[in-house]
Structure 1
């Protein structure tokens, strides 16, 4: 309908003129036209006038963060990033304000000690905002690390070595009971999917070390209470959201406070991350109850973190500050217990898979382990960490471990940093050229990309080759250079606190598996699915079908007598 509006009713000075005023025309044409103009203007700015406009990359990535969210949702992030770098070069613009580097030489320049994390860490409602791993500011991170690091020292970790041994023993005996002895469902052909067992081991180890109460994943041969599945589901959603963190932060910080109320939602204690946080809180409550009842408590991770203190608000006082809040303890335990476990499990899977794919590597590894047992430099059903870590005792074993992390990073994502003023210069090519990265940009490296750089790793960068880590073959300087380019445990001042725990678990598990069992890859049984993987910041893997058989070694006598 056309509304006839007499202008004289609006202004007595105007003649009585009737002007057609079509509301639908305004709403259906002019408003979309204005919005389209704004969008086109934004695209033109991002493509031609943004500080990162000169960097090459996928077109959609340069104009919207949602393209990266889509790429992450495919579960093939590292494959896309590898292809982008092959096409566009060592520094690629993958989001409007986000650069990816594939050059290992850039690692110490990007991940220096004063580098801050990006604004993704400011997102609310994830439940671990207070944890050390979530801190943007490098100074606050340094403060938190200084007070919590003693709980992860090698000395403290070695005091818990017996607890790690107990869980590895449980793994070895459960595999034998379920797949060789015929005592469980009559199964004795030795065929199994090793993928879930690596997760059960890693989660039982960390919950035992952290809480003095493992969940019994290994003995149950299942995801107890669905904790692992809920964590992976939460991580998948979280990593997709991270790509559009800027949008969520704009909504969260809008001046009316509506966005804050929308995003500050309470976690569902029965689903996703809420279940993980509920588990962590239950451990805190249980520990407090034991203390109130005067029962003895172990000096484990939860005990150490609960006894940390915040700074005294009265800076002139010599008295210690208040004990940290439950929210802080819960944040730290969530990150330590769950995110750290899956990376260790992924590392074990990579070692098993790649060693079994390469018969010559498998033969060398077993020969070295057997030789150490024959010489007496390794002893027992599970060799001690001191024996395994002794200089020159197991160089090939350690080369396999190092190469597994290079070949398939346990956390296959970019670890971004915010470029501080006045910006940074990064070397490009081999002729002394540099490229300037402006302040305010986000930049980072994905280990799955940097480790494929043929200029640094050679033409065999995509080959699983433990020999590249053997000092006797490549020299000490080369091994040092390789370790400096390794960011699988983080980089700079933000190196993973759980590194000692992970390393102990890895070396002891792999040496025991290959000493006690003959392992071979086999096709999936009828009706079972083959190997499959997806990348959602951690590897989601299944279908690593192997056949196990007892090796004729004396350590089985000790293992058969062991109780779990």
Structure 2
């Protein structure tokens, strides 16, 4: 009897053995994290986790889990989600041995076999890359950074003034969500490449970049939901899935354009000794041409979406809270009147806008109520496991466990923000008398941009852009929401918000 025949005769026995091994492994996996409670079935299968991403509402699904099951909830066989600020600070601390989880962070890879600072899971390489790139995000090596932001904030104001202002005789609604995207993309492309895409001046999505990124984000959400990021983005299969640089529009065209700009820069100035932007700084600190391409694409995608979402959420809460709106506009007008803010058409300086307490209370509260991204930023527990303190209790985390950050839950935590944590009240940032509690609140705000050794390098730029834009929008126009019943249409795709039809009306104010 041949081997094939033997195997055929024993097929049911072999199937039973395989099934038995699978069951044993599943039971072992379940028992590793049996002390952590979560939604039904999460100890055995990834189904709940996957459906959370499919729901376009994953941020609320994760919050519901931590609300019900505590500061550490189980959301998968090897996945935990936490709202513990002390645990998150510990995980992201400079001296810990937690590492990034490959299955999550691979969504930041845009080219086969070439990681970005976001997708790189090797801690030594990641630390080195951060050091190489830090100077490009600071004003020290990019002296034109603030003036570049000012140019595009002024363009936004001018676009609204000349094309979209409403009057007593004509209402002219427009989508503020789109305009904030144009601003964010022009800012980040200008400071990154030395030349903007030109979305604001053309008042359109130049080359279809935004539309294509939306499609790509949806695809990434499916990969996360099915647990296929490793297969699709960590293997040669990515060569088949990648967008062609021969495309005339969208992500492929943007990649080709990025490569063209970088090639031209290197051809004209091989050492990039004349440049004063991010590209020049990164090149001088050791990034090669292909690394410049991938990191430039990353900062376009990450920097633009987070800043745009922050600006539109801050504006939504301002427009729907008249008391807060009036107080902020009074602070803005006072800064203009006493000369702290330069007269129109100048844009408020970063130094001035950072010293306006109510402006930043409104910005922080808007981002708290509606965080710009809700990615869980999962980290892997060191192989030997870790014992931590959570709300006064000792908790053991088995080695190899993935543990993520429940963004929505932490930012609505009543233990930190009070009984009215679900409501918009900027004064909480100004009136808190307990220094320890205020420090906790600010720590939660910092975590929106990553924390510790994983903090977003673009945070200072984002905050500068956000503060300047909100100030100038409030200085130059009076605002109202067009559709009070449904001010915008929004979905959470993977971890990034897509906002459409944020229709507003702006009427011109007399400015000085």
Q: Is the TM value for this pair above 0.5?
A: yes
Does the C-alpha gap of structure 1 residues 263 and 169 become closer, same or farther in structure 2, counting only changes over 3 Å? Answer: closer
Deviations 1:418-437 (A, max 9, x none): 111432233344xx322111
After TM superposition, give the deviation of residue 26 of structure 1 in Å: 8.1
Give the TM-score taking structure 1 as reference length.
0.80
Confirm or deny: 8 A CA contact 1:75 1:534 kept in the other structure: yes
After TM superposition, give the deviation of residue 552 of structure 1 in Å: 2.0
Q: State yes or no: 1:61 paired with 2:42.
A: yes
Aligned partners of 1:64, 1:334: CA distance in 2, in Å? 35
Confirm or deny: 8 A CA contact 1:419 1:442 kept in the other structure: yes
Q: Which residue of 2 aligns with 1:147?
A: 132
After TM superposition, give the deviation of residue 40 of structure 1 in Å: 4.3
Q: Which residue of 1 aligns with 2:461?
A: 501
Aligned partners of 1:153, 1:124: CA distance in 2, in Å? 22
Aligned partners of 1:159, 1:124: CA distance in 2, in Å? 28
Match 1:175 to one of 160, 179, 187: 160
Match 1:395 to one of 348, 357, 369: 357
Q: State yes or no: 1:425 paired with 2:397.
A: no
Aligned partners of 2:201, 2:161: CA distance in 1, in Å? 12
After TM superposition, give the deviation of residue 31 of structure 1 in Å: 7.3
Q: Which has the larger radius of gyration?
A: 1
Confirm or deny: 8 A CA contact 1:406 1:447 kept in the other structure: no
Q: The residue matched to 2:64 in structure 1 has which SS?
A: helix
Q: Which residue of 2 aligns with 1:383?
A: 348
Confirm or deny: 8 A CA contact 2:86 2:390 kept in the other structure: no
For these two proteins, the number of residue pairs brought into alignment is: 498
Q: The residue matched to 1:541 in structure 2 has which SS?
A: strand
After TM superposition, give the deviation of residue 344 of structure 1 in Å: 0.2
Q: State yes or no: 1:540 paired with 2:498.
A: yes
Does the C-alpha gap of structure 1 residues 105 and 155 become closer, same or farther in structure 2, counting only changes over 3 Å? Answer: same
Q: Which residue of 1 aligns with 2:452?
A: 492
Match 1:349 to one of 312, 328, 331: 312
Counting only pairs closer than 5 Å after superposition, residues 32-431 of structure 1 correspond to structure 2 as 37=20, 39-47=22-30, 49=31, 51-113=32-94, 114=96, 115-120=98-103, 121=105, 126-127=110-111, 129-156=114-141, 159-180=144-165, 188-245=170-227, 249=230, 260-265=235-240, 267-269=242-244, 270=247, 273-291=251-269, 298-309=275-286, 324-381=287-344, 382-390=347-355, 394-429=356-391
Does the C-alpha gap of structure 1 residues 24 and 58 become closer, same or farther in structure 2, counting only changes over 3 Å? Answer: same
Aligned partners of 1:375, 1:519: CA distance in 2, in Å? 24
Does the C-alpha gap of structure 1 residues 326 and 461 become closer, same or farther in structure 2, counting only changes over 3 Å? Answer: same
Does the C-alpha gap of structure 1 residues 506 and 25 become closer, same or farther in structure 2, counting only changes over 3 Å? Answer: same
Q: Which has the higher contact order (CA 8 A, sep 6+)?
A: 2
Aligned partners of 1:413, 1:123: CA distance in 2, in Å? 11
Deviations 1:406-452 (A, max 9, x none): 221111121111111432233344xx322111121111212212112
Give the TM-score taking structure 2 as reference length.
0.88
Confirm or deny: 8 A CA contact 2:142 2:277 kept in the other structure: no
Confirm or deny: 8 A CA contact 1:347 1:404 kept in the other structure: yes
Confirm or deny: 8 A CA contact 2:371 2:407 kept in the other structure: yes
Aligned partners of 2:89, 2:312: CA distance in 1, in Å? 29
Confirm or deny: 8 A CA contact 2:44 2:76 kept in the other structure: yes
Does the C-alpha gap of structure 1 residues 153 and 125 become closer, same or farther in structure 2, counting only changes over 3 Å? Answer: closer
Does the C-alpha gap of structure 1 residues 125 and 30 become closer, same or farther in structure 2, counting only changes over 3 Å? Answer: farther
Confirm or deny: 8 A CA contact 1:43 1:63 kept in the other structure: yes
Match 1:478 to one of 405, 413, 437: 437
After TM superposition, give the deviation of residue 71 of structure 1 in Å: 1.8
Aligned partners of 1:40, 1:434: CA distance in 2, in Å? 31
After TM superposition, give the deviation of residue 244 of structure 1 in Å: 5.0
Does the C-alpha gap of structure 1 residues 209 and 263 become closer, same or farther in structure 2, counting only changes over 3 Å? Answer: closer
After TM superposition, give the deviation of residue 295 of structure 1 in Å: 11
Confirm or deny: 8 A CA contact 2:100 2:379 kept in the other structure: yes
Higher deviation after alignment, 220-229 or 125-134:
125-134
After TM superposition, give the deviation of residue 345 of structure 1 in Å: 0.2
Confirm or deny: 8 A CA contact 1:407 1:451 kept in the other structure: yes
